[in-house]
Structure 1
Amino acid sequence: MSRTPTRNDGPDPWLAQALPRLRGLEPTRSYGYAGELLHDDGRMDMQAYGARVGDLATRIGEALLAYGASAEEAVAGMLVTAETYGLSYCEPSVTLAEVSLTAYAPGELTPLHTSRVIRKHATDFRTLASIHRLVDRISGRAGLSLDEARAQAARILDVPAPRGRWARWRVPVQTAFVAAGVSMVFGGGPRTALCSFVAGLLGALLSGWLGRHGVPAFYRFAVASMPAAVMALAVSRVAPPSVVQAIVIAGVIGLLPTVTFVSAVQDALTGHYLTAMGRLLDALLVFAAVVTGVVTVLGIGHLVGLDVPIVASATRAEYLGAPALGAVVFAVAVAARARTPRRDWLPAAALGLGGFVVSVEFRVLGFSSLVGTALVAAAVGGAGHLVARRRRESAVPLVVPGIAPLLPGGALYVALGALASGRTTMGVGGLVNVAAVTLALAVGVGLSGEVGQLVRRVRATSPSGGTSRR
């Protein structure tokens, strides 16, 4: 019996086909991909062939997980690749540090097991999109042979690291633009944006230098957050309170691991708890490092009489000019730093601006920060998935920059100021509130994706949805 793949006009049909299997909605021995299972034809190299398939599958899973995909996407990519090229009884598995695959090669009674260790994680949506396209071609649209697929994977993943002066300055400059955009979102003007740009640039350069010398991430992020706090203290006697606030928030928000936190929540919601815990601990460690760096500097300033002022949130009228422009700069800078393809910058900017304006209106109307953030994040995620569906690509490069202006910078600033001045209970409570709002942000993004998947599955299984079986 053979089954034709379910019709799917959205992005990543291979992912949509694999999800029912991964979530227990289909029998374990269920294939449904373009490649027919190979049978033992008497050749003696089936074990070696299976090893090459396993190596390709785990390499694809490693790349997907390392460059920003969810655990479910990584598992689906390995499953589709292995079964398309003939392995049976495939059981892929991922953690934050390792991907593995157990399967049977055609005609072999001994199970095949292969794994790869992930030693470095980096948000790179351009490479991630290339891997998605490769899995799409493997799953049947192009009928790639195993050798052709392995060669394409090598061309994508074995590219030498870029050299030259810009290669070293790219991330620091983009981080500086992120900080400048954040400062404008939270009420800063041109001078504030310039101060935040300089602080963000210095922090990223210090972090990069420490990273090249093998310093662990906690210390690198703690040091990277300090220039913004130093800059805020330096201008605290001559600048308005709103300027000081914007500089501190810019230095912190630009370093927060938003992608890691959102991915951790998505992994937890889809049942990959081990990977979710690893990503969550990674995000919390970076968050703790950033808070430690800022609070240390602000605490020293408090001892010498340089306190940062605490100001109220801005009103709606203040968000009609520079803050709206800052939301656009913020979203585009986040997209550029994550190596999002340039054609996605404009939609990401539109999503960031729209979500920012709606979130401000929600606050004016009296919505709680948790409810308002979740609703806006779900709307931004839904719009991002709609655009990605029309383009037949992943929505992640659009959604992540689009939700960046929604981060709770004002609440974080109040919590940091309280911790620096010795009001520990108030500061810890503020950090818990920040974590809750960020969790609402991540849940809203995940909800939009799940609703889209549900609608497509319902349409695909309806009498007019295009499902066919023989």
Structure 2
Amino acid sequence: MRVRNDTPTLPAPWLARALPRLRGLEPLSSYGYGGELLHDDGRADMQAYGARVADLAVRVGEALLSYGASAEEAVAGILVTAETYGLSYCEPDVTLGSVSLSAYAPGELTPLHATRHVRRHSTDFRALGNLQALVGRISGHTLTLDEARAEAGRILDAPAPVGGRRWARWRVPVQTGLVAAGGGPVFGGGPLTSLCSFVAGVLGGLLNGWLERNGVPAFYRYAVAAMPAAIMALGVSRFVPAFAVQALVVAGVLGLLPTVTFVSAVQDALAGHYLTALGRLADALLVFAAVVTGVVAVLGVGHLVGLGVPIVPSVRRSDRLGAPGAGAVVFAVAVAARARTPARDWLPAAVLGLAGFVVSVEFEVLGFSSLVGTALVATAVGGAGHFVARRRRESALPLVVPGIAPLLPGGVLYASLGALASGRTTSGIAGMVNVAAVTLALAVGVGLAGEVGQLIRRLRLRSRAV
């Protein structure tokens, strides 16, 4: 059944048009009638047609959520898809583990219910962009239902990247190594630190992937994956300066931290999707605790046998800007590549990462606290990323997440890990709280930039309507 396409396409993207509905900014009388309604034409397959629409809608929502979109965006994708193809009184719902839809098919009195479980979460901004483009084409009434279902199948069942299965297994470990290698100079290391960090990142990625393929839970996988960086730091601690050991540990750890999950959790909480936010936050905290456990276990054993890593004051980024600036670029691009961000977004991500790093250095020189400076820089990076994404009609996450990566708190994290390993539990926990607070400031800054952009967009649309 083909949906008529004589409805003009509005200039705003589909997500911007759906948000007022989702946030209760439209009258209740309009709910259920946002799309073009179909009417019973006497055919007996109307309920079967509605079931196919509901299946497509929840499949799109499940894929959006699993590839890194916010809960609000997944709900909007379900709503737009279902209403475009004629379902009415649509009530989509999303949690971290499932998506569901209740709606009415045209001419039917019995509601449809469809549910899909999200069994795996992975950050894949390329597939996410393709899905967002698909929902945009659906909302523009340019695809029939069968065409949209076929296109969704092509996106979700896409073959492995170039290089075959062997490269598919090595891609994430190698890119994790590049993330660690770029993080080495950012946190005070040199070429040797970058090399050691790369090796530690690759080993950690390989261990994580092998354990995942054998069904080991995430906590144990990440605890084991964090150990190579700590072991290598113990091995070279007698031959390199103290700040290089710090950079090696921090770079190896930050490549494993769930930054995307934490940012998404804060965005979901700010948008009112508290259940999904709590689930994502628990997921992020579990991985964070696993990484800390793996590093502290190795450093604790090293401390017992007399190979404790040196605890030094945090390296001021303003003391050495050249190499850390280059490392920030590599760090941002490597984070983008690991998240399968399209290559056209690597340059903007690198520019955002470098600009945010330089501005954070200037704030440090001016005496800003880490929380205030991080929040301000994250807001600026988020605003720039949303502006570029708005011009391109795409998601801002592929630009913003790599852009804020060099702002993660490395020195405080290292000092906290060393304190926990040496038995100074109170100092270590206090440091971890500080790390969590800075990371929260990053996420809130990014979310604030997005909300300000949405507010400006709504005000512009309202002024045009007047």
TM-score by length of 1: 0.95
Q: Distance in 2 between matches of 1:179 and 1:361?
A: 24
Q: Distance in 1 between matches of 2:441 and 2:308?
A: 31
Match of 2:78, SS state, is: helix
CA contact (8 A) 1:75 1:94 kept: yes
State whether structure 2 residue 252 is matched by structure 1 residue 261: no
Q: Which position in structure 2 is the counterpart of 1:359? A: 360
Q: Which position in structure 1 is the counterpart of 2:65? A: 65
Match of 1:164, SS state, is: helix
What is the letter of the counterpart of residue 199 of structure 2? V
Q: Distance in 1 between matches of 2:380 and 2:255?
A: 23
Q: Which position in structure 2 is the counterpart of 1:153? A: 152
State whether structure 2 residue 69 is matched by structure 1 residue 88: no
Match of 2:143, SS state, is: coil
Give structure 2 stretches of 5+ with no counterpart. Answer: 1-5
Deviation at 1:236, TM superposition (A): 0.8
Q: Distance in 2 between matches of 1:62 and 1:251?
A: 32
Give structure 1 stretches of 5+ with no counterpart. Answer: none
Match of 2:308, SS state, is: coil
TM-score by length of 2: 0.96
State whether structure 2 residue 445 is matched by structure 1 residue 436: no
Q: Distance in 1 between matches of 2:451 and 2:196?
A: 41
Match of 1:90, SS state, is: strand
State whether structure 2 residue 333 is matched by structure 1 residue 332: yes
Q: Distance in 1 between matches of 2:332 and 2:317?
A: 20
CA contact (8 A) 2:33 2:88 kept: no
Q: Which position in structure 1 is the counterpart of 2:3? A: none
Whose RCO is larger (CA < 8 A, sep 6+)? 1
Q: Which position in structure 1 is the counterpart of 2:404? A: 403
Q: Distance in 1 between matches of 2:426 and 2:318?
A: 33
Correspondence list, 1:201-212, <5 A: 201-212=202-213
CA contact (8 A) 1:355 1:402 kept: yes
What is the letter of the counterpart of residue 17 of structure 1? R
Q: Distance in 2 between matches of 1:44 and 1:33?
A: 23
State whether structure 2 residue 425 is matched by structure 1 residue 424: yes
Deviation at 1:263, TM superposition (A): 0.2
Q: Which position in structure 2 is the counterpart of 1:292? A: 293
Q: Distance in 1 between matches of 2:136 and 2:241?
A: 54
State whether structure 2 residue 126 is matched by structure 1 residue 133: no
Deviation at 1:251, TM superposition (A): 1.1
State whether structure 2 residue 35 is matched by structure 1 residue 26: no
Deviation at 1:392, TM superposition (A): 1.6
Q: Distance in 2 between matches of 1:316 and 1:282?
A: 31
1:271–1:34 CA distance, 2 compared to 1 (3 A): closer
After TM superposition, what 4+ stretches of structure 1 lie above 4 angstroms from structure 2? Answer: 3-7, 31-35
CA contact (8 A) 1:316 1:364 kept: no
Q: Which position in structure 1 is the counterpart of 2:189? A: 188
Q: Which position in structure 2 is the counterpart of 1:323? A: 324
State whether structure 2 residue 90 is matched by structure 1 residue 104: no
Q: Residues 107-166 of structure 1, C-alpha deviation per residue, up to 9 Å, x if partnerless?
A: 1111100000110000000000000000000001x5211111001001101224453321
What is the letter of the counterpart of residue 50 of structure 1? G
CA contact (8 A) 1:344 1:397 kept: yes
Correspondence list, 1:163-312, <5 A: 163-312=164-313
Q: Distance in 2 between matches of 1:263 and 1:233?
A: 34
Q: In percent, how many aligned pairs have the same letter?
A: 78
Q: Residues 71-101 of structure 1, C-alpha deviation per residue, up to 9 Å, x if partnerless?
A: 0000000000000000000000000010000
Q: Which position in structure 2 is the counterpart of 1:46? A: 46
Q: Distance in 2 between matches of 1:4 and 1:151?
A: 23
Q: Distance in 2 between matches of 1:383 and 1:352?
A: 11
Deviation at 1:312, TM superposition (A): 1.9
What is the letter of the counterpart of residue 91 of structure 1? E
Deviation at 1:27, TM superposition (A): 2.3
Q: Distance in 1 between matches of 2:35 and 2:238?
A: 69
CA contact (8 A) 2:243 2:315 kept: no
CA contact (8 A) 2:416 2:428 kept: yes
CA contact (8 A) 2:318 2:364 kept: no
Deviation at 1:237, TM superposition (A): 1.1
Q: Residues 282-315 of structure 1, C-alpha deviation per residue, up to 9 Å, x if partnerless?
A: 0000000000000000000000111211222323
What is the letter of the counterpart of residue 76 of structure 1? A
Q: Distance in 1 between matches of 2:49 and 2:9?
A: 28
What is the letter of the counterpart of residue 102 of structure 1? S
